[in-house]
Amino acid sequence: MEPRLNHARGLLNNFEIRLMLRDLASKQDVSLHQLLDGFDLPDDLLQQPGLRLTLDQEMRLYTRAATHNRDPMLGFKVGSQLSAANYGILGYAVLGAETVDDALTLMTEFAPLISWASHNQLTTDTFAGKRCRCLTLHPAANDPQAAVLEIDSTLASLQRLFNDLAGERLPFSAIQLTHPGTGVDWDWLNDWFACPIYFGAKRNALLISLDTAATLLPHPQPEYSALFRELCRESMNELVKGQGMLDNLRNMIRESEGKPPSLEWAAAQFNISARSLRRNLVATGYTYQALLDEEQFALAQHYLLSTQLTVEAIAGTLGYSSARSFRTAFQRWTGCTPSEFRLAEQSR
């Protein structure tokens, strides 16, 4: 049985991923079998909104969706459909904010409740000669194409969220994106954001003028906001504890140089039993094998995209017994072979 997450996780990406998969299946002629192959998930996943995904499943599905996606507007269009309710308890805390800046502060402080490995930075900056609040976004996804989907979706969902909060379109000063924006629908983007959009920028960021940030929202509920803020803090504390353990485990795996440590050896480094480590991992939405797979996949992408090593050489470097076993694992992660992945990325 797949481990289940607590209520603080899996709310945004769960619905977001379903929208992406539905688009790929209905508009891009990608079969659900292709998208779900190797995930041990039911074929009627899209009809089971109550089914929770593990963190590993979420990130792998995000990568799988990005691998098959051919619509440069997919992230934007999905994000435009996400409302405050899709942000879970953080959404309810934001709904009670008194000003736009209060809402931005909440979105920054509790960003990991939206996407477990992402983080935001809120600063004051100058744009076009005016002082602005700048929300800089750092994606959770390691895969470059998955990161594009994530950032595009997040920015579109923030426009929807702030429109809902203000009761009308909230004007942004500018949107900055690091990816080139190849093939985007400028009419759609201009209609949705109604502000300058800069692709190929040095950061992924949302800029809002100080005047707009000081705007009083029409329906502040400070008492409810305080309650949900406390729930956000409790959830964050649990995430931080789990994240510290995950970071240490990732470092151990990376330092193993293609010879991943056993669960028992890793548990001994924390002075706990293998059973306790397994239980702690389940609480964060992971299994030990899923963590190993995530790190192996990140390394595999690096070698495929940044070197000229053959698939056989990469398999040996990553500790696989044969190129065939590496191909099988890679196809389980992405739905395509290493060679197909490399060719597709080189042709983008």
pLDDT band at 1 (very low <50, low <70, confident <90, very high): very low
Give per-residue pLDDT as tens, 176-203.
Answer: 999 999 999 999 999 999 999 999 999 9
Q: Would you put residue 273 in left (φ > 0), alpha (ψ -120 to 50) or beta?
A: beta
pTM over 0.85? The answer is: no
The Cα 197–Cα 207 span in angstroms is 10
* pLDDT of 5: 31
Cβ contact 206:79 at 8 Å = no
Can you read off the two tokens belonging to residue 299? Answer: 């390394």
Q: Would you put residue 183 in left (φ > 0), alpha (ψ -120 to 50) or beta?
A: left
For 215, phi and psi rounded to 5 degrees? Answer: -60, 130
Contacts of 18 (CB under 8 A, 6+ apart): 45, 46, 49
Helix (H) / strand (E) containing 61:
helix 55-68
For 2, phi and psi rounded to 5 degrees? Answer: -70, 140
pLDDT band at 73 (very low <50, low <70, confident <90, very high): very high
Can you read off the two tokens belonging to residue 188? Answer: 């759609």
* pLDDT of 334: 81
Cβ contact 266:288 at 8 Å = yes
For 206, phi and psi rounded to 5 degrees? Answer: -115, 130
Instruction: Tell me the pLDDT of the chain averaged across its residues.
Output: 84
**Mean pLDDT, rounded, for 228-244:** 73
pLDDT band at 6 (very low <50, low <70, confident <90, very high): very low
* pLDDT of 199: 98
Give per-residue pLDDT as tens, 197-214.
Answer: 999 999 999 999 999 999
Instruction: Find how far residue 41's CA is from the centre of its chain.
Output: 19
Percent of all residues in the chain with a pLDDT value above 70, rounded to a whole number: 87
pLDDT band at 279 (very low <50, low <70, confident <90, very high): confident
User: 317 has which bridge partners?
Assistant: none
Number of other residues whose CB lies within 10 A of the CB of residue 29: 9
The Cα 142–Cα 117 span in angstroms is 10
Number of other residues whose CB lies within 10 A of the CB of residue 8: 20
Cβ contact 136:154 at 8 Å = no
- Strand stretches in the chain, DSSP E: 119-127, 130-138, 174-176, 197-198, 205-209
Enumerate domains of the chain plus CATH numbers: 236-346 (1.10.10.60)
Which carries the bigger pLDDT value, residue 82 or residue 220? 82
